Amino acid sequence: MGKYLVKSLLQMIPVLLLISLIVFVLVRVTGDPVALMLPESATEADRATLTRELGLDLPLYQQYGIFLTNAIQGDFGTSFRYGESALPLVLERLPASFELAFAAMALAVVIAIPLGIWSAVKRNTFIDIFISGISVLGKAMPNFWMGIMLILLFSVMLGWFPVSGRGGLTHLILPAITLGVSLAAQMTRLIRSNMLEILNQDYIRTARSKGIFELFVIGKHAFRNGLIPVVTIMSLQFTSLIGGTLITETVFAWPGLGQLLVSAVNTHDMAIVQAAVFVIAIFVILMNILTDLVYRLLDPRIKYS
Amino acid sequence: MKSGLIKTFAALLAAALVVTGCGGGGATTSTDTGTTAAAPAASDGTLTIANGTDIESFDPQNNNNTASEAILVNVFDYLLKNDNEGNKVPALATSWEQTADNVWQFKLRDDVKFHNGDPFTAADVKYTFERLATDEALKQHSYFKTIEEVRAVDDYTAEFVTTGPDPLLLNRLSKMGAGILPSKYIEENGIDAFLKSPIGTGAYKFKSWAKDDRVVLEKNDEYFDGAPKWDEVVFRVVPEASTRVSELLTGGVDIVSGVPSTDIERIEQTENLSVETTPIKRVLQMIVRQTEGTPTADPKVREAIDLAIDKKAIVDSIAGGNGVLTRTSVTPGNFGSDESLYEQSLYDLEKAKALLQEAGYGDKGPELSLSSSSQYKEYAEVVSAMLTAAGFTVNLDILEPSAFSEKMTSKTFGELYMIGIGNSMNDASNNYNRFLASEAAGETDYNNAEVEDLLQSALVNMDEASRTDEYKKVQQILAEERPAIYLFQMKGVYGVNASVDFSPRQDEMFYAQEITPAQ
Amino acid sequence: MAIPTESGAGALPVPPKKRSEARGLKKGLRQLLRSKTGMIGAVIVLIVCLIAIFAPLLATHDPNAVAPIDRLKPPAWLEGGSSDYLLGTDNLGRDIWSRIVYGSQVSLIVGIGAVLVSGAIGAVLGVTAAYYGRWVDAIIMRLADSLLAIPTILLMLVVLAVVGPGMWTLIFVIGATNWVSYARVVRGEVLSLKERDFVKSARMIGARSGRIIFRHILPNVMSSFIVLSGMNVATTIIMEASLSFLGLGITTPDVSWGGMLSDGRQYVATSWWVATFPGMAITITVLGVIFLGDWLRDVLDPRMKLKNG
């Protein structure tokens, strides 16, 4: 297991190198930082000076080298919007985004598992079709639309939850639903199809035919085996979950990484974009390794090769 | 194994819940849940205002954004400020006089303390404006370049020396960026420490800033100009307009800015809520390229563009009536305004078509590109459709704001671009810098010797009457030659809870001292 | 492509899957008639396609013609509605029905276009990785890993902020960032096929690599491809809406449902029809595509059940 961990961590290196290259290329083609940093009244000489100071007159490979050396030391440059070092700005947003992402994930699991199982057990009945319909609907509805509707319904009309901002648990509920619903939809469908496959397997059928208490069968055998792919999909969805926060956070004025990123992209504050992409990528990769470990714990048949 | 599985799963869930549960602590909120219908009062000593954007920085000199300054004016004071009629009234300075062509003397208040207890003196004035005038990296630098030196004559007398005669010095000292900084505090602790816990002389002290979330200010009991009205003032950032309005409707905030025109009726119909509007110093306009070889080099084509746009219909529909027609960008309240061009607008579709015929275009009108920032998307779309109806072929190019400003800086727009230009100087010069030959080169390529002479003369003319005449003349010429086509003067539209008394200002500032709890 | 000196395909062993595929298709159609959701999906997709094709006939107005006086008119059947505007008008007085009709074209073009681009990139890279192996494989697959670690929408946001929004840029950006799943599937399939007899014997006869790939391997990965594409058309339509929300969607004169929904969100509380109809159009279309995709998956590739939700 230790060996496996070391190996996966080592495999992160080339991936991160490639990500750094992607980020570097993106930033270099993102227009002219000099024009954005200088006031309108700046002269040509001002421009030339700043270009030199930023090292933008060097050959590209040298620029990349410098960028990489700095990035390894956690230096992604200074956000020109805030005039502060970019990495701390990104890191201070993580708790808010994690809070939202984990809440959405938890919500999705809580919704998806019972619905998925129920749907599978009641296969081809009205309930099954209804649940399938709802879950597809959850996937088919654009995120921001759902967010706005939820605010109108639950905050403005019913007054149950605050409209926006980050605060207590009540502030978390609507954005978590907005973000979690499409996740839950996908999970429900996955759990259903896995459960179906498992319920069809001989030992379960035997158990059921023997009249062993239904819930017991489902709980003991089917559920456990049906859960493994859920763990996988959780790791796969973490990326899209983080992507989803870009939109959900804007709708709910949630002060997380997503809002920071959207405004950074809109103001071409590339230091922040670079730092954020890196932090997200490292996080996603670590999550993948973690879920892989959990996966292996759940399914001892997989060897640590 | 199975119990292991269940445990793992339970642990995962628990972890998620713990993370979600304890994240809530820190932030303060005035939101009151469990209420419906009539918007409740949010106040109890706290004033909460929701804006669409966050402040850029707590360095007033490194901001170029009205929304930021609107908040910072509560922390930092100017030497003198504008009242809502545009008159200069004393603030940290009690009186001022011009002692020579390029020398001004200011008497300062002797009873003012910074939030850390340091007294405010002429040394702070010197530090503030010499930093502005010398540090080219500051976003406000270009507005203060004319200040050559500030002398601290004694603790409470400061003398400004300008590079030449500067009719605008008082305007500069009362505009965005001119808030007085604590020289001793910054010199001792460095600017980074200052930015982390900024202090000024203002009615409100910095308490916290959670980026993209809220700025919290608390009252300064030592304030020299009357006790603060609120214990705390919270400026929230809510980028989505509909979310902002919902916050107002549920009593989450007391004041929201940038209310969409379609929501006005909804707010007005809610008990306890009202909509307040005021014309602001911002005119929505199209800058027109006159470069040789472009269709808009032809004055007839420019006139046709102007005549083809029904500005009144635009104001009445999309702006929800919140706009004032104008043929000049120097609106009343700004120095040099020509009121004969205000509340005027031209629209004559048939004549526009005829002009295009005269200009030699047959069935197929000229092809124009119209660029706009996404902020003014609706307006750009309507204008584009109106131009199309007059026979033009319009290539509409909607850009996100930073791409737009990048293109504007590099002067690479095509025939037309749409922009709302404000005037923090309250002076016509600020509107017309872009038509000086040197600035216009590459952008509009507008070049009129008479206008150039008038503008250059007005920049150093210390005589108010003749200076006004110069700008009026410029306005008349520009209205004919159309290097810019003005659509309308915009209005600030705010939603206000009945628990506060608030009248919006022309300069879009939120002086918390002027916003009071309703009786 | 065929080289005259080589013997015709008949000389090569027939790939085993082809026959079963034809049989599968017939069976599939029968299944489609039985599967209720599959039927619904197929009908929805068919209707959307027909609307897109006959848009000029169905639209009652120029989708971009503004009429400020007629702005925010409710649908015809509501009080204040006019029979001129079936589904009402938007904030600029444009006819919502006509815009939805024309928007279907854009949604389909973007959805299908992006899938074609990402499919093509994915296929080429996947085949290349599997066929040439070693360092080529390593680089391509690490690149795929890297892209997977960055949320697609973030990548697109950055790229679109650079190149500026527009229908064709959107297609290429989505295409260029979404190829990973295709490459993975193709690579996997090719790896397993590579060792199969018919490919081996084709090689022995001396067929060129390119020919082997096109004639024998690609047809075999087609089914996985179609299944993936169904899912991707759906995500692309949603993605376009999200990008519109962030201000980087499709702009005039092209009309997109995502753009309509995003522009209309300001009016949800006051003029519900502005956002609701495009929102419904998106939701129903995506629903149809997903249902159809599910059916395709069941018919073409039962193994995919495990990989996709």
- Characterize the bridge pairing of strands B367-373 and B416-422: parallel
Q: How far is B122 from chain A (nearest CA, A)?
A: 28
Q: Which residue has the tokens 């973000």?
A: A179
Q: What is the CA radius of gyration of chain C?
A: 23
Three-state DSSP at B126 gives helix
The pLDDT-based confidence of B312 (bands split at 50, 70, 90) is very high
Buried b (16+ CB within 10 A) or exposed e, A191-229: bbbbbbbbbeeeebeebeeeeeeeeebbeebbbbbbbeb
Using an 8 Å CB-CB cutoff, list chain B residues near A259: 212, 239
Q: Are A64 and A99 in a shared domain? A: no
pLDDT at residue number B21:
35
User: What is the token pair recorded at C231?
Assistant: 């899912």
Is A11 within a domain? no
**The pLDDT of residue B26 is above 50:** no
Q: Are A33 and A174 in a shared domain? A: no
Q: Are A45 and A179 in a shared domain? A: no
pLDDT at residue number B392:
92
Is A88 within a domain? no
Is A189 within a domain? yes
Q: Cβ(B294)–Cβ(B288) under 8 Å? A: no
Is A286 within a domain? yes
Buried b (16+ CB within 10 A) or exposed e, C257-290: bbbbbbbbbbbbbbbbbbbbbbbebbbebbbbbb
B314 and chain C: CB distance < 8 Å anywhere? yes
Q: How far apart are CA C159 and CA A27, in angstroms?
A: 9
**The pLDDT of residue B388 is above 50:** yes
Is C17 within a domain? no
Using an 8 Å CB-CB cutoff, list chain C residues near B312: none
What is the DSSP track for C43-78? Answer: HHHHHHHHHHHTHHHH-SS-TT---GGGTTPPPTTS
Q: Cβ(B377)–Cβ(B400) under 8 Å? A: no
Q: Between C198 and C2, where is the model more confident?
A: C198
Which ranges constitute the DSSP H helices of B145-296?
Answer: 169-173, 183-189, 191-196, 241-249, 264-269
Q: How far apart are CA A261 and CA A268, in angstroms?
A: 10
Q: Are A178 and A68 in a shared domain? A: no
Q: What average pLDDT does this structure show over B6-23?
A: 37
The C-alpha angle with vertex A95 and arms to A92 and A97, in degrees rounded to 5, equals 105
**The pLDDT of residue A209 is above 70:** no
We report the CATH number of the domain holding residue A241 as 1.10.3720.10
Is C16 within a domain? no
Percent of the residues in chain A that have a pLDDT greater than 90, as a whole number: 8
Is C12 within a domain? no
Which helix (H) or strand (E) is B517 found in, with range?
A: strand B516-517
Q: What is the CA radius of gyration of chain A?
A: 24
**The pLDDT of residue B298 is above 50:** yes
Q: Are A68 and A109 in a shared domain? A: no
Cα–Cα distances (Å) from A72 to A233, A275, A279, B373, C72, in that order, read 30, 11, 12, 37, 54
Give the HSE-up count for residue A99: Cα atoms under 13 Å, Cβ half-sphere: 26
pLDDT at residue number C77:
85
Q: Between B327 and B519, where is the model more confident?
A: B327
Q: Which of A123-137, A289-303, C41-55, C91-105 is least confident? A: A289-303
A10 and chain C: CB distance < 8 Å anywhere? no
CA dihedral C281, C287, C293, C297 (to 10 degrees): 180
The pLDDT-based confidence of B217 (bands split at 50, 70, 90) is very high
Q: How far apart are the first and last CA of chain A?
A: 9
Q: What average pLDDT does this structure show over A134-144?
A: 83
The C-alpha angle with vertex A115 and arms to A112 and A120, in degrees rounded to 5, equals 120
Is C263 within a domain? yes
Q: Which of A44-53, A277-286, B167-176, B359-368 is least confident? A: A44-53
User: What is the token pair recorded at C309?
Assistant: 């939700």
Percent of the residues in chain B that have a pLDDT greater than 70, as a whole number: 92
Q: Cβ(C219)–Cβ(C158) under 8 Å? A: no
Which residues are within 8 A (CB) of C165 and not within 5 positions of it... i.e. 6 or more apart?
B398, B400, C243, C247, C248, C249, C250, C251
Q: Between B164 and C1, where is the model more confident?
A: B164
Using an 8 Å CB-CB cutoff, list chain C residues near B399: 164
Q: How far apart are CA C87 and CA C64, in angstroms?
A: 15
**The pLDDT of residue B417 is above 90:** yes
The C-alpha angle with vertex C102 and arms to C98 and C104, in degrees rounded to 5, equals 120
Three-state DSSP at B485 gives strand
The pLDDT-based confidence of A211 (bands split at 50, 70, 90) is low
Taking each continuous run of H as one helix and of E as one strand, the counts in chain C are 13, 0
Q: How far apart are the first and last CA of chain C?
A: 38
Which residues are within 8 A (CB) of B491 and not within 5 positions of it... i.e. 6 or more apart?
B277, B278, B279, B280, B319, B322, B323, B324
Q: Which of A47-56, A259-268, B255-264 is least confident? A: A47-56
User: What is the token pair recorded at B31?
Assistant: 């939101």
C-alpha torsion sign, points C249, C251, C254, C258: positive
Q: What average pLDDT does this structure show over A47-68?
A: 78
Complex ipTM value: 0.80
C125-152 pLDDT tens trace: 988 888 787 888 888 888 888 888 888 8
For residue C93, is it left (φ>0), alpha (ψ between -120 and 50) or beta?
left
Mutating which of C160, C163, C251 best tests the B interface, going by the most B Cβ atoms within 10 A? Answer: C251
Chains that contact C by 3+ CB pairs under 8 Å? Answer: A, B
Q: Are A39 and A116 in a shared domain? A: no
Task: Phi first, then psi: give them for residue B148, nearest 5 degrees.
Answer: -90, -40
C-alpha torsion sign, points B371, B374, B377, B381: positive
pLDDT at residue number B10:
41
Is C10 within a domain? no
Q: Are A61 and A123 in a shared domain? A: no
Q: Hey, which of A11-15, B388-392, B492-496, C251-255 has the most confident mean pLDDT?
A: B492-496
**The pLDDT of residue A55 is above 60:** yes
pLDDT at residue number C309:
34
Give the HSE-up count for residue B434: Cα atoms under 13 Å, Cβ half-sphere: 19
Q: Cβ(C37)–Cβ(C280) under 8 Å? A: no
**The pLDDT of residue B19 is above 50:** no
The answer for B 251-280 residues in CB contact with C (under 8 A) is 260, 262-263, 265-266
Range(s) of the domain holding residue A229: 94-298
Contact: A40, B211; criterion CB under 8 Å: no
**The pLDDT of residue B258 is above 70:** yes
Count CB neighbours of A86 within 10 A.
28
Q: What average pLDDT does this structure show over C44-50?
A: 93
B329-375 pLDDT tens trace: 999 988 999 999 999 999 999 999 999 999 988 888 899 999 998 88
B56 and chain A: CB distance < 8 Å anywhere? yes
Q: Which residue has the tokens 């004169």?
A: C253
The pLDDT-based confidence of C306 (bands split at 50, 70, 90) is very low
β-partners of residue B371 are: B397, B417
Give the HSE-up count for residue B509: Cα atoms under 13 Å, Cβ half-sphere: 23
Q: Report the 3 state secondary structure along A179-241.
A: HHHHHHHHHHHHHHHHHHHHHCCHHHHHHHHCCCCHHHHHHHHHHHHHHHHHHHHHHHHHHHH
Contact: B136, A176; criterion CB under 8 Å: no
**The pLDDT of residue B412 is above 50:** yes
We report the CATH number of the domain holding residue C243 as 1.10.3720.10
Measured in whole angstroms, the distance separating CA A179 from the mean position of its chain's CA atoms is 10
Q: How far is A249 from chain C (nearest CA, A)?
A: 12
A-C C-beta contacts closer than 8 Å: 138
Q: Which of A32-46, A94-108, B50-64, C60-74 is least confident? A: A32-46
A30 and chain C: CB distance < 8 Å anywhere? yes
C-alpha torsion sign, points B161, B165, B167, B172: negative
Q: Are A44 and A100 in a shared domain? A: no
Q: Which of A180-194, B10-24, B249-263 is least confident? A: B10-24
Q: Which of A260-269, B77-86, B208-217 is least confident? A: A260-269
C164 and chain A: CB distance < 8 Å anywhere? no
Three-state DSSP at B317 gives helix
Q: How far apart are CA B135 and CA A1, in angstroms?
A: 58
Q: How many domains does chain C have?
A: 1
**The pLDDT of residue A301 is above 60:** no
Q: Cβ(C237)–Cβ(C258) under 8 Å? A: yes
Cα–Cα distances (Å) from B195 to B109, B137, B181, B190, C165, in that order, read 25, 16, 11, 9, 36
Instruction: Find the chain C residues whose C-beta atoms sit closer than 8 A to any C-beta of B.
Output: 64-66, 68-69, 71-72, 91-93, 161, 164-165, 247-248, 251-253, 263, 265-271
**The pLDDT of residue B33 is above 50:** no
Is A217 within a domain? yes
pLDDT at residue number A38:
62
Q: Are A101 and A37 in a shared domain? A: no
Q: How far is B343 from chain C (nearest CA, A)?
A: 21
What is the DSSP track for B50-63? Answer: EESS--S-S-GGG-
pLDDT at residue number B144:
93
Q: Which residue has the tokens 């985004």?
A: A97
Q: Which residue has the tokens 């030592």?
A: B222
Q: What average pLDDT does this structure show over B72-84?
A: 93
Range(s) of the domain holding residue C147: 35-307
Count CB neighbours of C145 within 10 A.
22
* Cis ω before C253 (30° cut-off from 0): yes
Q: How many domains does chain A have?
A: 2
pLDDT at residue number C33:
67
Of A148, A239, A250, the CB nearest to C151: A239
